[in-house]
Amino acid sequence: MINELIIQNNMKKKRSVICMQLQLIVAIIIAILAVVFALQNAVPIAVSFLTWRFESSLALILLITLALGILMSLLVSVPSVIRKMKIISSQKKKIQKLEISLQKEAGSKIREEIESEEPELPL
């Protein structure tokens, strides 16, 4: 049973490493595509927002809006990530407490079994 848990843990680690590598590859591909996009869309445009006016290349404007969108989505997702981390932390603490109580209970049962198996010495 312990060997199975070790094997499952190793498999999870391998999957997470593969997942991280895949994410890195996807990020590199997106970065390369963004550079190609920026080089092909160097047309200057003017952006007006309320009283603010800004003139720059189309690619730069689009990349800035993409970055702002990513930043806003990250900011929106932060509270749920923090909540999940707190839940996981409390569950880990509960697991540790339960494991300790289980070890104590198993130890007391073993002691009881040993005491019941010991023959009583005649006086």
Query: Contact 47/61 with Cβ under 8 angstroms?
Result: yes
Q: Considering the domain boundaries, does residue 52 fall inside one?
A: yes
Q: Which domain holds residue 55?
A: 31-115
H-helix or E-strand containing 79?
Answer: helix 58-117
pTM: 0.49
pLDDT band at 87, cuts 50/70/90?
very high
Residues 4-34 pLDDT 10s:
656 666 667 777 778 788 888 988 898 888 7
Q: Considering the domain boundaries, does residue 10 fall inside one?
A: no
Q: Considering the domain boundaries, does residue 4 fall inside one?
A: no
Cα–Cα distance measured from residue 99 to residue 102, given in angstroms and rounded to the nearest whole number: 5
Cβ neighbours of residue 44 closer than 8 Å, sequence gap 6 or more: 55, 56, 57, 58
The strand pairing partners of 47, in sequence order, are: 54
